[in-house]
């Protein structure tokens, strides 16, 4: 399916959706969509017989600081039935970095959206489990933002007590070492 036919099929499925074709260096179709249209577009991409993008291969984000809109959320979709790939991008401003979740359409988005929130601070409205995935719960900031401080000095913090004494640990290490002879 060529990009023009894909755009026509999406606009027929979601009337009024704002879709713009993006320049690309590879042969993969790349479209920009409005964040307000994401839920309807996601359902149409998955459910329409002429599209059938049933596989969410990746969901990530890009920080384009200091440019505005600052962020782009990127959905890499695959239609196995039609052997077509689609890169769908949503541009977000720094002061309002929020888009609706697609985890109800593609369950694989659940963890991917958590990862994007954890590392970029982009909020996925309606997400079923919006908590940190990679960083500790008490972490401050979002480490993949380009304005995140590279050199930080923080004292390590722990939230759980050690489950064994130092003597027990040494005995376990020695026992393991002896068993490997």
Q: What is the pLDDT of residue 161?
A: 63
C-alpha to C-alpha distance for 32 and 104, rounded to whole angstroms: 21
The predicted model gives 115-136 an average pLDDT of: 94
C-alpha to C-alpha distance for 137 and 126, rounded to whole angstroms: 20
Spell out the domains of the chain, with CATH numbers in brackets.
3-153 (3.30.460.80)
Q: Structure pTM?
A: 0.81
- Under the banding of pLDDT at 50, 70 and 90, the label for residue 152 is low
- Under the banding of pLDDT at 50, 70 and 90, the label for residue 91 is very high
C-alpha to C-alpha distance for 52 and 10, rounded to whole angstroms: 11
Q: What is the pLDDT of residue 78?
A: 96
Label residue 112 exposed, middle or buried (CB < 10 Å: 0-12, 13-18, 19+): buried
Looking at the chain, the whole-number percentage of residues with pLDDT higher than 90 is: 69
| pLDDT (tens digit per residue) in 126-148 | 999 988 999 988 888 899 999 98
Element housing 63 (H / E)? strand 55-63
């Amino acid at each position: 399916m060529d990009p023009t036919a894909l755009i026509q099929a999406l606009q027929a499925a979601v009337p009024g959706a704002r879709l713009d074709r993006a320049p690309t260096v590879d042969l993969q179709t790349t479209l920009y969509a409005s964040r307000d249209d994401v839920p309807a577009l996601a359902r149409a991409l998955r459910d329409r017989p002429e599209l059938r993008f049933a596989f969410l291969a990746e969901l990530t984000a890009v920080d384009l600081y200091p440019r505005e809109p600052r962020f782009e959320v990127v959905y890499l979709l695959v239609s196995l039935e039609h052997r077509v790939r689609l890169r769908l991008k949503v541009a977000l401003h720094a002061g309002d970095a929020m888009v609706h979740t697609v985890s109800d359409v593609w369950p694989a988005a659940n963890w991917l959206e958590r990862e994007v929130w954890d590392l970029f601070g982009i909020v996925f409205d309606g997400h079923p489990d919006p908590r940190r995935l990679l960083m500790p719960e008490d972490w401050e900031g979002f480490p993949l933002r380009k304005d995140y401080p590279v050199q930080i000095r923080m004292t390590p913090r722990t939230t759980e007590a050690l489950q064994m004494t130092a003597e027990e640990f040494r005995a376990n290490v020695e026992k393991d070492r002896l068993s490997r002879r």
